[in-house]
A and B are shown apart, each in its own frame.
Chain A
Amino acid sequence: MSENNEPRRSAAPDPDRNPDALPPETQPAPAPEAESGAPVKDAALVTSLDTAGGAMRPSAVPVSAQSGSLPGTDDSDSVLRKIFTGNGIVTILAVLLALILGGLLIASTDKVVAATSSYFFARPTDFLAAVWSAATSSYVALFQGSVFNPRGSGVGGQFAPLMETLTIATPLITAGLGVALAFRAGLFNIGAQGQIIMAGILAAWVGFALDLPVGLHLLLVLIAGVIGGAVWGGLVGVLKARTGAHEVIVTIMFNYIALYLVRYLLDTPAFQRPGETTPISPILDPSAVYPQIFGSQYRLHIGFLLAIAATIFVSWLLNRSTIGFEFRAVGANPKAALTAGINVPRATILVMTIAGGLAGLAGVAQVAGTEKVLTDGVAATYGFDAITVALLGRSTPWGTFAAGVLFGAFRAGAVQMQIQTGTPIDIVLVVQSLIVLFIAAPPLVRAIFGLNPRKKKAATAGKSQKAAATGGAA
Chain B
Amino acid sequence: MSTTATSPVPGSPREPQQGRPRSEKNHKPTVSAKPVTWKLPVTLLVLAVVAFIFFGLLGPHATAKFGISSGGDFFQLPAIEVPAFLAGIVLSVIMLGLAGYAMFLKTRNIRPPRWLPVLFTVLFVVAFLIWVVGGARTPSISLAGLIAGSVTLAVPIVFGSLSGVLCERSGVVNIAIEGQLLGGAFTAAIVASMTNNPYLGLLAAAVAGALVSMVLAVFSIRYVVNQIIVGVVLNVLISGLTGFLFSTVMQANKEMFNSPGRLPIIEIPVLSSIPVLGPILFKQSVVGYLMYVAVIVVWIGLFKTKWGLRVRSVGEHPQAADTLGIKVNATRFWNVTLGGAVAGIGGSFFTLVAIDSFTKEISGGRGFIALAAMILGRWNPIGAFFAALLFGFADNLQSIVTIIGTPVPSQFMAMLPYLVTVFAVAGLVGRSRPPAASGIPYVKG
B-binding residues in A (CB < 8 A): 5, 8-9, 12-13, 54, 57, 60-62, 65, 105, 109, 188, 190, 239, 243-246, 248-250, 252-254, 256-257, 260-261, 263-264, 267, 384, 387-388, 391, 423-424, 426-430, 432-434, 436-437, 440-441, 443-444, 462, 465-466, 468-469, 472-474
Contacts and interface: CB of A to CB of B under 8 A. Distances in A.
B418 interface: yes
Contacts of B277: none
29 contacts: A8-B319, A9-B323, A12-B319, A57-B440, A190-B232, A243-B428, A246-B425, A249-B371, A250-B425, A253-B368, A253-B418, A253-B419, A254-B422, A257-B419, A257-B422, A260-B412, A261-B411, A264-B412, A267-B411, A388-B236, A429-B241, A432-B236, A433-B234, A436-B233, A437-B225, A437-B237, A440-B219, A462-B445, A468-B224
Those 6 A-B pairs whose CB atoms lie nearest each other, nearest first = A429-B240, A426-B243, A424-B247, A433-B237, A264-B411, A441-B223
B422 A245 contact: yes
Contacts of B234: 433, 437
A65 B245 CA distance: 31
Contacts of A427: 240, 244
B248 interface: yes
A444 B412 contact: no
B16 interface: no
A61 B226 contact: yes
Given A12-B323, A260-B414, A436-B229, A473 B237 contact: no
B175 interface: yes
Contacts of B247: 424, 426
Given A243-B427, A267-B411, A388-B233, 12 more contacts: A54-B436, A245-B427, A253-B422, A260-B412, A426-B244, A429-B243, A430-B237, A430-B244, A436-B229, A440-B230, A465-B224, A473-B440
Interface string B202-244: 0000000000000000010001111011101110110111011
B136 interface: no
B233 A437 contact: yes
B409 A264 contact: yes
A430 B241 CA distance: 6
Interface string B382-424: 0000000000000000000000000001011011001101100
Contacts of B320: 12
Nearest to A235: B422
B240 A443 contact: no
B365 interface: yes
Nearest to A471: B226
Given A424-B243, A469-B441, A469-B443, A441 B225 contact: yes
A352 to B, nearest CB: 14
User: Interface size class for chain B?
Assistant: 35 or more
Contact of B368 (A61, A246, A256): A256
A4 B169 CA distance: 23
A426 B250 CA distance: 14
B175 A62 contact: no
Nearest to A19: B9
Contact of B418 (A105, A188, A256, A443): A256
B139 interface: no
A257 B371 contact: no
Interface of B: 175, 219, 223-226, 228-230, 232-234, 236-237, 239-241, 243-245, 247-249, 317, 319-320, 323, 365, 368, 371-372, 375, 409, 411-412, 414-415, 418-419, 421-422, 425-428, 434, 436, 439-443, 445
A428 B239 CA distance: 11
Contact of A441 (B219, B245, B371, B422): B219
A424 B239 CA distance: 13
Given A109-B248, A249-B372, A62 B237 contact: no
A190 B173 CA distance: 15
B240 A433 contact: yes
B interface SS class:
helix
Contacts of B248: 109, 423-424
B243 A249 contact: no
Contacts of B236: 384, 388, 429, 432-433
Nearest to B422: A253
A426 B427 contact: no
A188 B244 contact: no
Nearest to A418: B247
A387 B233 CA distance: 9
Contact of A387 (B223, B232, B243): B232
Nearest to B323: A12
A267 B234 CA distance: 34
Contacts of A443: 223
Given A250-B425, A433-B233, A433-B236, A472 B225 contact: yes
B411 A263 contact: yes
Contacts of A462: 445
A292 to B, nearest CB: 31
A281 to B, nearest CB: 16
Chain B CB count within 10 A is highest, among A57, A263, A387, A424, for: A424
Contacts of A256: 365, 368, 415, 418
A388 B228 CA distance: 12
B14 to A, nearest CB: 10
Given A252-B371, A426-B247, A440 B323 contact: no
Nearest to B175: A248
B237 A429 contact: yes
Contacts of B412: 260, 264
A245 B425 contact: yes
A5 B237 contact: no
Contacts of A243: 425-428
Contacts of A440: 219, 223, 225-226, 229-230, 233
Nearest to A464: B224
A239 B426 contact: yes
Given A256-B365, A437-B233, A249 B425 contact: yes
A51 B249 CA distance: 49
Nearest to B360: A426
Nearest to A109: B248
Contacts of A13: 323
A84 to B, nearest CB: 19
B228 A252 contact: no
A109 B245 contact: yes
Nearest to A384: B236
B433 to A, nearest CB: 10
A48 to B, nearest CB: 15
Nearest to A429: B240
Contacts of A434: 237
A464 to B, nearest CB: 8
A444 B440 CA distance: 20
A188 B411 contact: no
Given A54-B436, A424-B244, A426-B247, A250 B224 contact: no
A427 B320 CA distance: 44
Nearest to B244: A426
Contacts of B371: 249, 252
